[in-house]
Chains A and B, each alone.
Chain A
Amino acid sequence: MTGLERIRRAVRFEPTDRVPVVPLLGAHAATLAGIPHQRACRDPAAQAEALLAAVHAYRPDAIFTLMDLTAEPEALGAAVEVRPGQPPVVTGYLPREALDTDALERRILTARVPVFVETVSRLRKSLGDSVLVGALICGPLTAAANALGIETLSRMLRRDRDLLSRLLDRLGAAVTALLQRHADAGAHAVMLLEPVATTAILGRRDLEALLLPSLRDINRAAREAAVLSMLHICGDCRASLSLLGDSGADVLSLDSPVDLPAAKDAIGRSAALMGNLDVRRLLPCGSPASVYDSARDLVSAMGRSGGFILGTGCELPADTPRENVARLLAAARP
């Protein structure tokens, strides 16, 4: 069974020969290959080289592009700065009106975004269907937050909901256009990154009224493009799990504050679950044995009858010890 087949079966809640395992390797892969992060996020050949090196080193069931929450905001017009040894950061936000245009669907495909599309294409050429090749892209809420500033977005949630709703619809259409571009490049899956949809910021009422309609539209487009749709939420989203399960995503990728077996009970079979070993302490600082034990415990708690992909709560820190990553992968193998 190939990694791609294993994941597709798991997503359909069918039994697999073993649990699929998919750590988000991006930044760590760049370090592993000795490629500076700032080069990997600008040069598709370098990014693909780093990710392929990680595939060969660890043999995961899927490989995703680098996590870069500034690529789409930069394409939309936000100013981004790259400092040596650090991932890019948004340093200049857009006025709200700049996103109130139907030009977003075109604009989101510019700047560094094509780097990630080209990376997907290169990965597919090298890997074929042996492992799942996926793209990480900003979801509409996080694209808005990083383009406008989280404080502007937070105030809009209470003071200008109509405009925010319209902007999220426009960004949803733009994200859909980007998803289609990744599908054309050969992506088997697209993972929407929505760290801003953590419950502390976006309560159930806001999620349901403002974000869920866009997510459903994007996930519907993914199905039509025959691409698996995945939704990643950082932090604690326990209070919103049932709604997230109804987003139409094939997979919910959840962070370590969420108890995955409890999440499974909460959403049933509405989506498969992926995650969620701690990337803040356990993976970068824990012992290899503690990583292995935690991963085995999670596999045991989640069962082996499909609907679960073992992974990380978020992207691995660049300097995660190689042995810890290897032990995470080993825990999925009999």
Chain B
Amino acid sequence: MDVETATARLERAIEAGDEEEAPRTAQALLDLGVEPTHVTAALSRTMAGLGRRFQTLDIFVPDLLIAADAFEAAMAVVEPAFLRSEAGRVNKGTVVIGVVEGDIHTLGKNLVRVMLAADGFTVHDLGRDVKVARFVQAAAEHDADIIAMSALMTTTMGRMNDVVELLRRKEARGNRRVIVGGAPITQQFADEVGADGYAEDAPRAVALANRLLDRPRLR
């Protein structure tokens, strides 16, 4: 199998959510001697393409979810080599992400995590039902550029405000950006709680993260 064929096969495996074929083909590409960045670029390109198809309702959440599974399986193969490479030392930005306290709905958060990782961000997943103080603590621990919060219930979205408030009280916001998302969240809500941005879905969250780290912070 040549590089071109294997790359196309990897992309198809991600699109089909094939958790066995994707890591096998990623390994095959490494065995052919390609740079790890060739593999990560193919993975990133494929996930971005799926994100665009999701926004036009050509595919749906289940398709994105199984593609994310296959992406993570392939990344597990290529990541050690990638991190040792020159390109692997470049971090687009560090994100801590979690579902706010009282909320256990992780689907959207997981898709954002994978899409951000596919785009070159370093992502630390705090999981679900994350306490207010834990977001702030983790942001400091990982020197995060972005704190990303998700909520699916109107009764829990107020926790986002609490995180922003705690960041302010502890003078821990600095240049950190806060982004929010989830079914009940709107841009207006994001503005009211003092978040730097809101994204309606995972692909838009990636675009938002890129935009926020690409321009000076407004105070």
* Interfacial residues, chain A to chain B (CB-CB below 8 A): 83, 85-87, 89-91, 150-151, 154-155, 157-159, 199-203, 206, 234-235, 239, 280-281, 317-318
Task: Report B27-86 residues with CB < 8 Å from chain A CB.
Answer: 54, 57, 59-63, 65-66, 69
Write the chain B residue with the least CB distance to A205.
B60
> A200 — which chain B residues lie within 8 A by C-beta?
54, 57, 60-61, 201
**Stretch from B88-96, B134-142, B153-161 forming part of the interface with A:** B153-161
Contact of A203 among B60, B104, B188, B201 (CB under 8 A): B60
> A206 — which chain B residues lie within 8 A by C-beta?
60, 62
Task: Report B162-198 residues with CB < 8 Å from chain A CB.
Answer: 183-184, 186, 188-189
Q: Say if the beta carbon of B124 comes within 8 Å of chain A.
A: no
Contact of A89 among B17, B63, B104 (CB under 8 A): B104
Write the chain B residue with the least CB distance to A239.
B57
A151/B107 in contact, CB under 8 A: yes
Q: When chains A and B are docked, how far (Å) is the Cα of A90 from the Cα of B106?
A: 12
Known: A83-B102, A150-B107, A317-B154. A281 touches B186 (CB 8 A): yes
Q: Say if the beta carbon of B24 comes within 8 Å of chain A.
A: no
Write the chain B residue with the least CB distance to A236.
B57
Shortest C-beta distance, B107 to chain A (Å), equals 5
B104/A90 in contact, CB under 8 A: yes
B66/A201 in contact, CB under 8 A: no
SS class, residues of chain A in contact with chain B: loop
> A317 — which chain B residues lie within 8 A by C-beta?
154
> A150 — which chain B residues lie within 8 A by C-beta?
105, 107
B65/A199 in contact, CB under 8 A: no
Q: Mark B89-120, 1 if CB is under 8 A from A, else 0.
A: 00000000000001111110010000000000
Known: A151-B106, A281-B188. A157 touches B154 (CB 8 A): no
Write the chain A residue with the least CB distance to B102.
A86
Q: When chains A and B are docked, how far (Å) is the Cα of A203 from the Cα of B104?
A: 24
Q: When chains A and B are docked, how far (Å) is the Cα of A162 from the Cα of B57?
A: 24
Shortest C-beta distance, B97 to chain A (Å), equals 16
B155/A203 in contact, CB under 8 A: no
Q: When chains A and B are docked, how far (Å) is the Cα of A159 from the Cα of B60?
A: 14
Most buried by B among A90, A280, A317: A280
Known: A159-B66, A200-B201. A87 touches B60 (CB 8 A): no
Q: When chains A and B are docked, how far (Å) is the Cα of A202 from the Cα of B65?
A: 13
> B186 — which chain A residues lie within 8 A by C-beta?
280-281
What are 12 pairs between A and B in contact, CB < 8 Å?
A83-B102, A86-B102, A86-B153, A89-B104, A150-B105, A151-B110, A155-B66, A158-B66, A200-B54, A200-B60, A200-B61, A201-B61
Q: When chains A and B are docked, how far (Å) is the Cα of A85 from the Cα of B158?
A: 13
Shortest C-beta distance, A115 to chain B (Å), equals 20
Write the chain A residue with the least CB distance to B184.
A280
* Interfacial residues, chain B to chain A (CB-CB below 8 A): 17, 54, 57, 59-63, 65-66, 69, 102-107, 110, 153-156, 183-184, 186, 188-189, 201
B102/A89 in contact, CB under 8 A: yes
Q: When chains A and B are docked, how far (Å) is the Cα of A317 from the Cα of B153?
A: 10
> A201 — which chain B residues lie within 8 A by C-beta?
60-62
Shortest C-beta distance, B55 to chain A (Å), equals 10
A157/B62 in contact, CB under 8 A: yes
Shortest C-beta distance, A160 to chain B (Å), equals 11
> A234 — which chain B residues lie within 8 A by C-beta?
183
B66/A203 in contact, CB under 8 A: no
Q: When chains A and B are docked, how far (Å) is the Cα of A83 from the Cα of B131?
A: 14
Known: A83-B102, A151-B110. A199 touches B57 (CB 8 A): yes
B156/A86 in contact, CB under 8 A: yes
Shortest C-beta distance, B159 to chain A (Å), equals 11
Q: When chains A and B are docked, how far (Å) is the Cα of A201 from the Cα of B143?
A: 34
> A85 — which chain B residues lie within 8 A by C-beta?
155
Q: When chains A and B are docked, how far (Å) is the Cα of A280 from the Cα of B186?
A: 8
> B65 — which chain A residues lie within 8 A by C-beta?
151, 154-155, 158
Q: When chains A and B are docked, how far (Å) is the Cα of A199 from the Cα of B62?
A: 11
B62/A158 in contact, CB under 8 A: yes
A203/B105 in contact, CB under 8 A: no
Q: When chains A and B are docked, how far (Å) is the Cα of A150 from the Cα of B106?
A: 9
A87/B66 in contact, CB under 8 A: no
Q: When chains A and B are docked, how far (Å) is the Cα of A322 from the Cα of B60?
A: 38
Q: When chains A and B are docked, how far (Å) is the Cα of A143 from the Cα of B103?
A: 18
The 8 residue pairs across chains A and B that have the minimum distance between CB atoms: A157-B62, A154-B62, A201-B61, A203-B60, A86-B155, A154-B65, A158-B62, A150-B107
